[in-house]
Amino acid sequence: MAQADIALIGLAVMGQNLILNMNDHGFVVCAFNRTVSKVDDFLANEAKGTKVVGAQSLKEMVSKLKKPRRIVLLVKAGQAVDDFIEKLVPLLDTGDIIIDGGNSEYRDTTRRCRDLKAKGILFVGSGVSGGEEGARYGPSLMPGGNKEAWPHIKTIFQGIAAKVGTGEPCCDWVGEEGAGHFVKMVHNGIEYGDMQLICEAYHLMKDILGMEHDEMAQAFEEWNKTELDSFLIEITANILKFRDSDGAHLLPKIRDSAGQKGTGKWTAISALEYGMPVTLIGEVPLHDEPSGLVVWILIVFLGKIKDAFDRNSELENLLLDDFFKSAVENCQESWRRAVSTGVQAGIPMPCFTTALSFYDGYRHEMLPANLIQAQRDYFGAHTYELLAKPGEFIHTNWTGHGGSVSSSSYNA
């Protein structure tokens, strides 16, 4: 008998917590896992006393769903997603919905969206942010794909999402095909950049200023009362204060090796492909809708970013907005002093220094790329433009040997 509002495949912690979140908001969820014994364990433990139902097969799961059927995949990105889609399609009807909530590459989501559209299935690729805690009590959700699916999942998605301000959900439709996973990719890339900046500040405070962990925690707590108020600043203060079972601070015991799921790297690669400068993200170790900012990392000054684009929707760069221009100008002296101190002491600060170089590059009316153009023309006859003759490509015979190249025959 069809009784469930939605199904979720993948009972790792994220999947379990999303199910419990949906249950808390009045939705009946059917749980399934490739290892079916995990379904029984979940129903007997974490989901005991809830309205969550289970299934021992995909066929049984589909039979328990109201139409149009809504199925969330929370499995490992890549082949596992394609494998489940292949098994599900024969069991579904036209207009049924498959939602990929994993960290899929946005091009894969675009491909799946197009393939399933041809078969009458509505596909959604949704970014899910907030970790295990967010999944349980309110994630940020970034759905995109076949927009026909949105009216059928909107109530569930916006119901379980985190809320900001006066209750606005951290969830909205972000665009067609792979847009949801593209936004999540950029979201993660910015998050990794932010984390690296915090790590570099921590490095300076610890090794240059000689601050103790509790002192650093207090500094981060104070920063969190300013425009820097954010989830990452808050948890950094908590981490710095945290003590192990032996009473000593835990952080110094942790191996200095960081992992990531690929989305930060994808952001840097995509930026290169689209010709967008995101050098800060590229240094991390390894849309047109301003309202979409509510689905992003919880940072207070995101409101300032939204305000900037509300004032000028065609704003080319935030550095040109009065608020951000003033903020950077007011802090650039201390910024330069911090970078200089770190460099002189041999402290690696890839993000602080790269961001400063980008800012300085943006401030200069003319940069030395004219020398690069001359060099390319010298060794490869790639031509160049003169300031006085834009659009006209010229080659100079720098050595007095060889032929000449006209603007009509070679345009580089």
* 267 compared with 377, residue with greater pLDDT: 377
Residue 5 is predicted with a pLDDT of: 98
Residue 228 is predicted with a pLDDT of: 85
Q: What is the pLDDT of residues 108-166, one digit of tens each?
A: 999 999 999 999 999 999 999 888 999 999 999 999 999 999 999 999 999 999 997 78
Residues 91-113 as b or e (16 or more Cβ within 10 Å = b): ebeeebbbbbbbbbbbebbbebb
On the question of pLDDT at 401 being above 80, the answer is: no
Percent of the chain with pLDDT strictly greater than 70: 86
Q: How confident is the model over 213-226, as a mean pLDDT?
A: 96
pLDDT category at 6 given cuts 50, 70, 90 is: very high
Other Cβ atoms within 10 Å of 181 Cβ, number: 31
Residue 312 is predicted with a pLDDT of: 93
Q: Hey, what amino acid is at 335?
A: W
Residue 287 is predicted with a pLDDT of: 38
3-class DSSP state of 66: coil
> Token pair for residue 379?
């060794």
The Cα–Cα gap between 149 and 146 comes to: 6
Q: How confident is the model over 97-102, as a mean pLDDT?
A: 97
On the question of pLDDT at 298 being above 60, the answer is: no
Q: Identify whether the C-beta of residue 145 lies closer than 8 Å to the C-beta of residue 199.
A: no
3-class DSSP state of 140: strand
Residue 185 is predicted with a pLDDT of: 86
**Active site positions, annotated:** 184, 191
Residue 290 is predicted with a pLDDT of: 40
Residues ≥6 apart with Cβ < 8 Å to 190 = 267, 281, 296, 297
Q: Identify whether the C-beta of residue 105 lies closer than 8 Å to the C-beta of residue 168.
A: no
Other Cβ atoms within 10 Å of 114 Cβ, number: 13
On average, the pLDDT of the chain sits at: 88
Q: How confident is the model over 89-103, as a mean pLDDT?
A: 97
Q: How confident is the model over 309-335, as a mean pLDDT?
A: 91
3-class DSSP state of 24: helix
Bridge partners, 5 (sequence order): none
Residue 297 is predicted with a pLDDT of: 45
Residue 343's H or E segment, with its range, is: helix 322-344
pLDDT category at 407 given cuts 50, 70, 90 is: very low
Q: Identify whether the C-beta of residue 145 lies closer than 8 Å to the C-beta of residue 123.
A: yes
Least-confidence region, from 9-23, 168-182, 251-265: 251-265
Number of helical H runs and strand E runs in the chain: 16, 12
- Strands (E) across 173-322 are located at 175-176
pLDDT category at 412 given cuts 50, 70, 90 is: very low
Length of the chain, please? 412
The Cα–Cα gap between 49 and 46 comes to: 9
Q: How confident is the model over 371-380, as a mean pLDDT?
A: 94
* Strand 389-394, strand 384-386: pairing: antiparallel
* 295 compared with 275, residue with greater pLDDT: 275
On the question of pLDDT at 191 being above 90, the answer is: no
Q: How confident is the model over 163-190, as a mean pLDDT?
A: 88
Q: Identify whether the C-beta of residue 55 lies closer than 8 Å to the C-beta of residue 30.
A: yes
Other Cβ atoms within 10 Å of 166 Cβ, number: 5
> Token pair for residue 88?
């599900």
Q: What is the pLDDT of residues 388-398, one digit of tens each?
A: 999 999 999 99
Site of tokens 């949801």: 180
pTM of the complete model: 0.76
* 73 compared with 226, residue with greater pLDDT: 73
* Strand 97-100, strand 163-164: pairing: unpaired
Percent of the chain with pLDDT strictly greater than 90: 70
Q: Identify whether the C-beta of residue 96 lies closer than 8 Å to the C-beta of residue 122.
A: yes
The Cα–Cα gap between 403 and 381 comes to: 9
Least-confidence region, from 23-37, 200-214, 287-301, 329-343: 287-301
Q: What is the pLDDT of residues 229-283, one digit of tens each?
A: 888 899 999 999 999 999 999 999 999 876 555 555 555 565 556 555 544 444 4
On the question of pLDDT at 181 being above 60, the answer is: yes
Residue 294, burial from CB neighbour count under 10 angstroms (0-12, 13-18, 19+): buried
> Token pair for residue 358?
């980008």
